[in-house]
Amino acid sequence: MDWGMKNRMAQLIQPDGRALFLPIDHGYFQGPTRRLEEPGKTIESLLPYCDALFVTRGVLRSSIDPNNTKPIILRVSGGTSMVGKDLSAEGITTSIEEAIRLNVSAIGISIFVGSDYERESLLNLAKLVDEAERYGIPVMAVTAVGKELEKRSARYLALCSRIAAELGARVVKTYWCDDGFEKVIRGCPVPVVMAGGPQVDTEFEVFKFVHDGIQKGSIGVNLGRNIWQNDFPLAMIKAIRAIVHENATPEEANDIFNSIKEDSKIQMARK
């Protein structure tokens, strides 16, 4: 591996081998997602606690201070929307020159295995890897399910993750699943981070799945809505950081969450 590639990977994956990526890219197909209407404000207090930010170039330029030194994973696929015919018909939206100009640590692209546009999205990934590797930039593949959240079975996720790695992704982002997640990890020869999907009912559920996924070999998370759509996003990211980087149990993470939540309530009442 070249120095540049090694250095970028080291920016993303911390010395303990773990990673907490904070995605705020949802607007590229969802528009002004709830609590991400003003991305700069959403992440203000959260930025110090993530290891990298997953973002499009538009939000990076308009909402992130260039003095920020957090590693950037640039979302470079898109071209479809929630109201369009088919979310899976994505193309490449951002050139490799732009990624270099923006000084990013990695680029990210979605693949849609099993969809009508499976072939296009997989060939887009392969082409992107060819270009990005030339400049020492790692590609993170996002195994997207579009609106079909029920697709999140171990068999399907293992298939997508392995294909992404075979085509050259250096990191794979996939979903955690209840049954057989260890098979997803075993079948994927590159590091796997877990996304959260839509907000779940309780914080404890999030802590449990993040903890379980890490026990089964995931290196961490690329977790968005379950952090910044929570009423107490700072408490949420700190609790998740404790699981990812300090091996906290779900119960310990819950205690961290509750104590920061109580402090925040006191501070809010004082204002």
- Least separation in angstroms between residue 29's CB and ligand 5RP is 7
Residues 55/75/4/217 CA torsion (nearest 10 deg): 90
- Using CB under 6 A, which of the segments 207-215, 217-225, 235-243, 259-267 binds ligand 5RP? 217-225
Q: What is the CA radius of gyration of the chain?
A: 18
Instruction: Please name the amino acid found at residue 188.
Output: C
Interaction of residue 115 with ligand 5RP, rule CB under 6 A: no
| 222 phi and psi angles, rounded to 5 deg | -130, 80
Three-state secondary structure call for residue 198: coil
| Closest distance to ligand 5RP from the beta carbon of 55 (Å) | 9
Beta carbons of 222 and 173 less than 8 angstroms apart: yes
Q: Which of 85, 173, 183, 216 is catalytic?
A: 173
Q: CB-wise, 144 or 242, nearer to ligand 5RP? A: 144
User: Exactly one of 225, 238, 241, 261 binds ligand 5RP (CB under 6 A); which one?
Assistant: 225
User: CA–CA separation, 83 vs 86, rounded Å?
Assistant: 8
Q: How far apart are the first and last CA of the chain?
A: 52
Q: Which stretch binds ligand 5RP (CB under 6 A): 23-31, 157-165, 177-185, 206-214?
A: 23-31
Only one of the segments 91-99, 124-132, 154-162, 224-232 lies at the binding site for ligand 5RP (rule: CB under 6 A); that segment is: 224-232
Work out whether 250 is an interface residue with ligand 5RP (CB under 6 A).
Answer: no
Which residue of 39, 71, 191, 196 would you call a contact of ligand 5RP, by CB under 6 A? Answer: 196
CB of 254 to ligand 5RP, least distance (A): 19
Selected binder of ligand 5RP within 91, 146, 187, 197 (CB under 6 A): 197
Q: What is the C-alpha to C-alpha distance for residues 163 and 184, in angstroms, rounded to an integer?
A: 11
| Burial class of 182 by CB neighbour count within 10 A (0 to 12, 13 to 18, 19+) | middle
Tally Cβ neighbours within 10 Å of residue 238: 19
The interface region with ligand 5RP, picked from 8-16, 116-124, 159-167, 221-229 by CB under 6 A, is 221-229
What whole-number distance in Å separates Cα of residue 5 and Cα of residue 132? 10
- Regarding 209 and contact with ligand 5RP (CB under 6 A), the answer is no
Among 11, 12, 18, 26, contact with ligand 5RP (rule: CB under 6 A): 26
Looking at residue 120, its amino acid is E
SS3 22: strand
Question: Is residue 25 a contact point for ligand 5RP (CB under 6 A)?
Answer: yes
The answer to whether 146 contacts ligand 5RP (rule: CB under 6 A) is no
Does 91 help bind ligand 5RP (rule: CB under 6 A)? Answer: no
Q: Determine the Cα–Cα distance for residues 106 and 93; give it in Å rounded to an integer.
A: 15
- Respond yes or no: is residue 6 known to be catalytic: no
Name residues contacting ligand 5RP, limited to 50-79 (CB under 6 A). 54
Distance CA 139, CA 125 (A): 8
**CA separation, residue 196 to residues 85, 137, 179 (Å):** 25, 25, 16
**Which 124-143 positions form the footprint of ligand 5RP (CB under 6 A)?**
142
Q: Which residues are catalytic, by number?
A: 173
The binding site for ligand 5RP (CB under 6 A) comprises: 23, 25-26, 54, 142, 195-197, 222-226
